[in-house]
Amino acid sequence: MIGLNFTGRTQVIRQYMEEKGIKLSLIWDPDNQYYLSGFRAIIYSRPIVTLIRESLIELIIPGLEEAHAREKANVDHLHVYHEQLDKGKQEISYQDHLTEILNKYPSGTRVGVELGSLPSNVYLYLSSFGFEVVDIGNKITQMRTIKDPEEIERLKIAGKLSDHAIGESLKNVRVGISELEFDSYGDQFLLEIASREYPDELIGYANWTCSGIKRSEMPHLYSSTRKFAAGDVVVHSRQVWFNGYRAENERTFFVGTPSDKQKDLLKLAIEAQQAAMEHIRPGITAKEVDYVSYQVFKKAGYGDYVNHRVGHGLGLSEHEEPYLRFDNELILEEGMVYTIEPGIYVPGLGGYRHSDTVILSKTGSFSITEYPREIEHLLF
């Protein structure tokens, strides 16, 4: 598989830094660090900092990540801090390395940070040097919004894997199976097919299932040990990521025979999703997509039961800016990736939401998740 252009991304950031008079940038958000350096670690409580200077890109990392970083990170230099007693006498924490670097810059230096994710204590620490702290987070968000062909290929694979996983779980719908057990069928199949078809790649997933009238009315709940019962409305949500890039796939289905009203509500949600998927394309505003979808619910008399936007950006993060919501004037562009997931939540009747991942192309958009959406495929 073709590699991602980390060097090119760093060059764009350096050009932006030059335009803004920024001499040093600290990248804190793990997804942004991966986007710019190709390195992602299991951080837990050990800080990792990516530093971009005029001619260097560097990492401050804990010792247990040194071998990993030397293999994967597209950087010029590693600053390693240790926790072992013998090695830790002189290097106590990441801040020692950071301080050494910061001391090379005079008061008044412009330092770039992601204000949306930088810890407040680090912001105060930078300010104590007399630096002028400048936000570069919006620039990185703008860069990440437009996916290049290599990123799109990863997203397509993630979408295909999510289809496999949802399909396998749905083969096992039955009264008496718990939400967690239901999820596990798709999980196991996903891990098996990914290991067979994509050796030596990084695969991840997250999923949750909300079953029953009350639980389905709440859009986001973790899967539980609740067991499916006859008459249930079930919302099953799944994200799969391939080498860091995520696709989202959600389906609402019925256990047993739904009422005519419940079938109508799912059909309405499907109609709202289809309207948005047919409308979204480069050149329109983000808010238009939300409006088109919402009008389907409103005209049917259910506008008061919509409680979230129609979709969010997707890529390295579970949710990414920019969002498809009523107040976003952003002009959509080719290469943007979005979920389309209008939902309706009616007390006493349940929640209804499909989600698919779409990529904007020159001619419009196309979905990379393809599990059937029609109601006849979702009756069990």
**How confident is the model over 90-113, as pLDDT tens digits?**
657 899 999 999 999 999 999 999
Cα–Cα nearest to 321, from 5, 32, 2, 84: 32
6-142 with 146-377: one CATH topology? no
**How confident is the model over 231-277, as pLDDT tens digits?**
999 999 999 999 999 999 999 999 999 999 999 999 999 999 999 99
Which H helix or E strand runs over 289? helix 286-299
**How confident is the model over 222-242, as pLDDT tens digits?**
999 999 999 999 999 999 999
Collect all residues with Cβ–Cβ distance below 8 Å to 303 and sequence separation of at least 6. Answer: 294, 297
Average pLDDT over residues 125-142: 97
**Can you tell me the distance from the alpha carbon of 45 to that of 32, in angstroms, rounded to the nearest whole number?**
18
CATH class of the domain at 6-142: alpha beta
- CATH 3.40.50.1820 assigned to domain 146-377? The reply is no
**How confident is the model over 281-305, as pLDDT tens digits?**
999 999 999 999 999 999 999 999 9
Cα–Cα nearest to 353, from 210, 235, 217, 267: 235
Collect all residues with Cβ–Cβ distance below 8 Å to 106 and sequence separation of at least 6. Answer: none
With 60 as the cut, is the pLDDT of residue 1 above it?
no
**Helix H segments across the chain?**
6-20, 30-37, 66-72, 94-102, 120-128, 137-145, 149-170, 179-197, 213-216, 260-279, 286-299
At residue 88, φ and ψ (nearest 5 deg) are -95, 0
Q: Enumerate the domain spans of the chain.
A: 6-142, 146-377
